[in-house]
Each structure stands twice: as structure tokens, then as C-alpha cells.
Structure 1
Amino acid sequence: MYSKLPIIDGDILCYRVGFACNEETEAVAIKTMAELLEELVFIDLSSDDCVGYLTGSNNFRYDIAKTQPYKGNRKDAPRPIHLHRLREYLHTAWDFRVVDGQEADDAIGIHATSLRDRSVIVTIDKDLDMIPGHHYNPVKKESYYIDDKEAIKNFYRQILTGDKVDNIEGLRGIGPKKADKILAEADTEMKMYEAVLKAYDNNQERVIENGQLLWIRRKDDEIWQPPTQ
């Protein structure tokens, strides 16, 4: 069996299966989810166990966002018809944990950090690439490994680019390629932070706001702060 515990992003699964089954019955949607998970856990990852997380109510990021409302662009976004039932199924049939006050990503980051190389993060969400360790993309069926330096660079890259999905505004005109150029010479976290701060014209308040919104927790109740050395 697979020696690493799969830690699964339940939010992504519910939306992907939900939208794919929008014109199907609830029973078909549940059956599709069951078959997907069985193949993912037992066949693709050769595991006999898994843990999964779903985002619940409230989120500390809503209080941090000052420049723009966090996820403020999602108010009218369509949701899958069977979303609630799919979440309920994952919670009751697969014991996925519903987390309040933070996002499923945070719970995944905390759990994966505690296990490190004894776990594998299962998601298509590239945001979780700021968490070091083993990763698996269930759509591409690709495994990859993120080391500590790559993980922290992924985080600072996101501060530069922002996250349109979550309504986090980065620097205008800065995409991943330009962000990589800004960070190219930075070989420590302090240098990465200094490069990002310079790109923001030393607007520390904006850098900290974006950093705290984007940072995926590695321990309970963690709020990101700039490095001191």
C-alpha cells in the first residue's frame, strides 16, 4: 500500500463533480463522487485510508482584507445544484472534516506539515504549492514534490501576482513570468521579501495584507508576518 497518507481537498472535488453532474440526478452525482474517490484513493494512490477537508463557515481572512473584500467577486458565482448533498456525502461516508474559521486549504496545510513526507496533498489547487512535501494532481494524475525553497518562492510569487479567484489584487501587469524575474536573484526568504517589498514601492501595508490573505497555514491559528532576518 501507499506509504503516504492522502490529504484530500474536498472543496475542489465537490465543485468538479457537482458541475459535471448538474444535469444529472442526485443519485448519479453521489455515485460519481463515490467512484472517483474509490479510484483515487485505492487505485491511483494505492492507499487504504485518507483524510479530507471541507471549508465550513466564517474565515479569518474576511477581517484582514482592506483593499478589496476577500472573495468579493464570488457573490453571484453559480454553484452546482448538488453541492450541499455532495459535501454531506463526503462528511458522512468518507469522514471528511468540515473546518470553520479558516479554509480547507489551511487544514490541509497544517495536517500535511505535521506529517511532511508521510503525507501527500491531493488537489488541483496550485495555491497549495506553497506547502512543502508530496503533491498529487488527481486530474492530470501527476505526482510531484515541492521543497522548502520552492514552496516559499511560490508564496512570494503569489503576493506579486495576486489571486483573481479570491479577489486579491496583486501588482498591475505582473504575471508569473515577471514575478519569477523579480525573485530570480533571491535565494533566501528575507531576500524574497525585500524584492517583493521593492516591487510594491515599499508599501509594507499592502505586502503584509496580501501575504496574510494568501498564506496557507502550517500550524494552528497562524497569521503570516514578514521575516526578520
Structure 2
Amino acid sequence: MSLTLLIDADVLRYQLAFSNTKTFKFEDDDSATEITNPEKAKADLEGYIEDLCDTLGATDFLLPLSVSTNFRKSLYPDYKANRGGKPKPALWDAVDGYLKELYEDRIITREYLEGDDILGLLATAPAPKRCPGKRIVVSIDKDMQTLPCRLYNPQRPQLGTRTISQHEADLFWMKQALTGDTTDNYPGCKGIGPKNADLILNPLHEANSDADPNEHLGGLWIAVVSAYEAKGFSEGDALTQARLARILRHGDYNFKTNEVNLWKP
């Protein structure tokens, strides 16, 4: 059966832009000089994808990319606002151009969605047209652990390809709803960090390890809401943060209307 790699192209674009740009400062000059190597960036792009396909035995690959509009900003205007004004890497446009020049037929974008969401929709759909066979998500992004999928982290190849169950994915997602994400600039439940989130959710996860996925998630959600209310927040606050933390899965997006079906407990 065919195997398609679902490659996190947003991360790849930044990695290649950064790794092929060197910054130099001279002792008698406060200004910095950047030297870029676009030819090597292009070669690295081709080599990276070829090596991945060889390593994982893939017959095809897709490259989801984010678009400028983002449905999460309508839920929480400060989502990723911490990135505003920060310049893109000097080679960003060049690498973006190479992606579209070399792999135009494998790039996928969708209105209002981040590349992560496209990865999630493709990974969790029963048999999407573009990749009806086996699929592996390739990403270094921790948020991919909120998806029930097969996941390969190219920075941790010793882990191999992990299979994340729905129970495990929902646990990680609910932890993100509690802790928030400073990278994406949503707060979660203020005052609850990773250790407290583990203390709140891990016992429930273990106690319901054999339960129906809906029952398992329901128990986690009750605990999340209780944690928010104990801190003086509402269930509505918890729901907004859970929606921000949720990478879209099969059924969360209407491909005909380009509308997101927001998660409801």
C-alpha cells in the first residue's frame, strides 16, 4: 500500500531560511552583515525531502502551508500577536519560491487554516483523495501530538515513527488547553503549568485508558473546566482556549464553504 508523508512545510521553510543565513559582526563596527546561500537552501530542500522519503519508505509526499488569514484570530485577537513586526529570515521568500517552483503540485493551502490544520485534516481523514493510503506526519512541532496519527520527528529519529492513539492525542490537547502556548500567544489557564496539568489530567487518563474515546475525553474536559473555575475563569474561557489548542481533525472543516466547525464539548 502507498505511503504518503505529510511534511510540515511551514517549519521546513523557516529552518532552511535560517540554516542558510550567516550573520557576521566586526569588532570595530556595531552593524551586522548577513550572508545568504540560496543555492544551498534549494539543494538542502530537495535533499531533505528525498532523504525523508528514502528513510521512511514513502511513495509520495504533500506540503501543507499556512495562509495569511487564520480562523483562530477571530476567536482570540491576540493569537500569535507576539510575532507581529518580527522580520522574516532573509531567505524566507527565496525558500518559499523554491517550494512552489519545485513542488507546486504537492503544496496544499486552505482559506483560514494554518498548515498544522491541513496536516491534521489529512492525517485523520479516513481516505482523503490526495493520500488515500497510509500516512505519516513529519514535524518537529509538539502540537502534532494533539493528533491521533502516525508521527515522525526528524530531529529525534531515534524515536522512529510513533503511533499516537486518540486517548493520547486528547490528553495532550487538553494539557495544551490548560497550559496555553507562549509560542502561539494564548495563555491557557493562568497559574497552571505543565506539572500541574499532569497532576490534574494524568490520573484520569490512566483510569479511563480502556474507556470509549468520547467518555475518556469527557472526563478530561470536566477536569479542565473545574481547573478554570477554581482560578476564577468560566467554562467559556476554557472552551476558547481548547479551540485555540485544537489542531483540526476530520470533520472540523467544511471543504465546500471553507468554514471551520468549532469543537463543542
TM value normalised by structure 2: 0.79
| Residue 214 in structure 1 maps to residue 245 in structure 2 | yes
In 2, are the aligned partners of 1:91 and 1:97 still within 8 Å (CA)? no
- Three-state SS of the structure 1 residue aligned to 2:57 is coil
Name the CA distance, whole Å, in 2 between partners of 1:61 and 1:172: 19
**Aligned partners of 1:57 and 1:99 also within 8 Å:** no
**Counterparts of 1:48 and 1:149 in 2: how far apart (Å)?**
29
Which of 178, 186, 190 is the matching residue for 1:160? 178
**2:218 paired with 1:190:** yes
CA distance in 1, matches of 2:50, 2:176: 33
Deviations 1:47-78 (A, max 9, x none): 13111101012011111005xx1101111334
1:139 aligns with 2:155: yes
Encode CA deviations 1:151-206: one digit per residue, 9 max, x unaligned.
11111000011010010002234222221110123231111011000110161111
Farther-moved stretch of structure 1 (135-144 vs 152-161): 135-144
Is residue 2:43 matched to residue 1:31? yes
Q: What one-letter code is carried by the residue in structure 2 that aligns with 1:55?
A: S
1:149 equivalent in alignment to 2:160: no
- Which of 68, 80, 87 is the matching residue for 1:57? 68
Deviations along 1:109-139, whole A, 9 cap, x unmatched?
0111114882111101111111112100012
Residue-pair matches, total: 222
- For the Cα contact (< 8 Å) 1:134–1:145, is it kept in 2? yes
What one-letter code is carried by the residue in structure 1 that aligns with 2:89?
P
Alpha-carbon contact 1:54-1:87 (below 8 Å) kept: no
Confirm or deny that 1:83 pairs with 2:86.
no
C-alpha contact (below 8 Å) 2:72/2:79 kept by paired residues? yes
Residue 199 of structure 1 pairs with residue 238 of structure 2: no
Inter-partner Cα distance in structure 1 for 2:86 and 2:56: 33
Find the counterpart in structure 2 of residue 21 from structure 1.
20
Look up the match of 1:125: 141
Aligned 8 A contact 2:171 2:220 in 1: yes
| Alignment check: 8 A CA contact 1:91 1:98 kept | no
Residues in 2 aligned to 1:195 and 1:114: alpha-carbon distance in whole angstroms:
28
Distance in structure 2 (CA, Å) of the matches to 1:190 and 1:47? 36
Structure 1 stretches of 4+ moved >3 Å: none
CA contact (8 A) 2:116 2:247 kept: yes
Q: Classify the secondary structure of the residue corresponding to 2:203.
A: coil
Q: Which amino acid aligns with 2:44?
A: T
* TM-score, length basis structure 1: 0.90
Q: Percent identity?
A: 31
CA-to-aligned-CA distance 1:17-38 (integer Å, 9 cap, x gap): 1111123322221111111111
Please, which runs of 5 or more residues in structure 2 have no aligned partner?
23-35, 128-132, 209-215, 254-259
**Cα distance in 1 for residues equivalent to 2:4 and 2:126:** 9
Partners of 1:123 and 1:175 in 2: CA distance: 24
